[in-house]
Amino acid sequence: MTASDTHRAIEAVWRIESARLIAGVARVVRDVGVAEELAHDALVAALEQWPASGIPRNPGAWLMTTAKRRAVDLVRRNVRLEARQDALGRDFIERQDATTADFDAVEEDVSDDLLRLVFTACHPVLSADARVALTLRLLGGLTTAEIARAFLAPESTIAQRIVRAKRTLAESGVPYEVPTGDDLHARLGSVLEVIYLVFNEGYAATSGEDWMRTGLCEDALRLGRILAGLMPREAEVHGLVALMEIQASRMRARTTRSGEPVLLLDQNRARWDHLLIQRGLAALARAEALDAERGPYTLQAAIAACHARARTAEETDWARIVATYDELARRMPSPVVALNRAVAVSMAEGPAAGLREADALLDEPALGTYHLLPSVRGDLLAKLGRSEEARAEFTRAAAMTRNARERDLLLARASDIPPPG
């Protein structure tokens, strides 16, 4: 194997193992920033040694052994320097001295370590942007440059965000642990929010030239599936995975070959990924079996399932979708949910009924700059033959969006409306 082949293999191993590696080391040092540095030290050691010695039989265990030995050395130094760390240092030194000789058996603590890392990276003490960036870095294995490209942000901005996040966790004394009891469910909401934020930014990019960024959807799906494996009894985890699987199944049909957006009712359903649909429906069934009181993600997945089960747009069970939105509005009231419900009402009862629902939201402050409100109104006004009003709404929506593809779509819809008479 050539040196370049070895380097590519190391990159692949790092992408697969980095989250478990950082999680395992963080259990020793109780600081995710320090853990990431030690994990990268192990990566550097691999880059230096593996081209000459060859890739070890268990590369993940090799990296874990190297990183944990360096962690133990660090703890020893800190124990000598700071007496307050004596208990922590003695405990881990005794355990690690007995086990670092062979880390083929490190898997026993991997699940707990990953859960600790998930809940630490998504801690509410951090802003939403910081949680997203840190989660993609520590659990997604993305580089700072990759995160910056995905979110169309300067690399320096993302780097500073990650550095500040790690500093905030350390200065706030955030414990490296999985919360328990009521705190678990409160904190789990933050974790699920982060994963869905990543997915949504990939599924419908808020800005830039591309309608979608599929890499972010794939990263979010992978994180969701990992979390579902770590927390198999949590219904909303499976609900979120179901929602993402079903939405991701439409990716190939959501754009033309040249990248123009294709709206849901116009999509070629033969291009939907039916394996992802089956995975999503199975995850939805697990969520509903675990909790009859369906949570917000499970309810959104149930709505997505109504679309997935319909062979054609005309066969969609809109009445069932409206009823599910009613349930969602009781569990998670929001203007956006109400707007989505208005669209479902228009399909079930006609555009006039939907427009009444949408017009009731015109004074909602949260929707003042939300481009989908005038977009929905434009569509409903066009169906009612109110062409000039529809054209004005589509034009207004186009001015609000920051996504170039979506802007072009809205302007095209405005220009396609025939003149009156």
CA angle 106, 112, 114 (to 5 degrees): 85
Q: Which CATH class is domain 3-104?
A: mainly alpha
Query: Quick one: tokens of 308?
Result: 């997935």
Cα separation, 60 vs 276, whole angstroms:
29
Cα separation, 98 vs 282, whole angstroms:
43
Q: What are phi and psi of 420, to 5 degrees?
A: -65, 150
Q: Which pTM was predicted?
A: 0.79
Could you give the residue ranges of the DSSP H alpha helices within 84-154? 86-99, 110-121, 128-138, 144-150
Cα separation, 257 vs 260, whole angstroms:
8
Q: Which residues pair with 255 in a beta bridge?
A: 261
Of 153, 272, 258, nearest in space to 201 by CA:
153
Query: Quick one: tokens of 380?
Result: 């409903």
Per-residue pLDDT in tens (0 to 9) along the chain, 421 residues = 677 788 888 888 887 888 889 988 888 888 888 989 998 898 898 889 988 888 898 988 899 899 888 888 877 776 655 554 455 555 555 555 544 444 444 444 557 888 899 999 999 999 999 999 999 888 888 889 888 877 778 999 999 999 999 999 999 999 888 888 888 888 899 999 999 988 988 888 777 777 788 888 998 999 999 999 999 999 999 999 999 999 999 999 999 988 889 999 999 999 999 999 999 999 999 999 999 899 999 999 999 999 999 999 999 999 999 999 999 999 999 999 999 999 999 999 999 999 999 999 999 999 999 999 999 999 999 999 999 999 999 999 999 998 899 999 999 999 998 876 5
- How many of the other CB atoms lie within 10 Å of CB of 275? 10
Cα separation, 48 vs 89, whole angstroms:
29
Residue in the block written with tokens 């200065």: 171
Cβ neighbours for 285, distance < 8 A, ≥ 6 positions apart:
none
Residue in the block written with tokens 């990183």: 67
* Cβ atoms of residues 66 and 42 within 8 Å: yes
**Sequence ranges of the domains in the chain:** 3-104
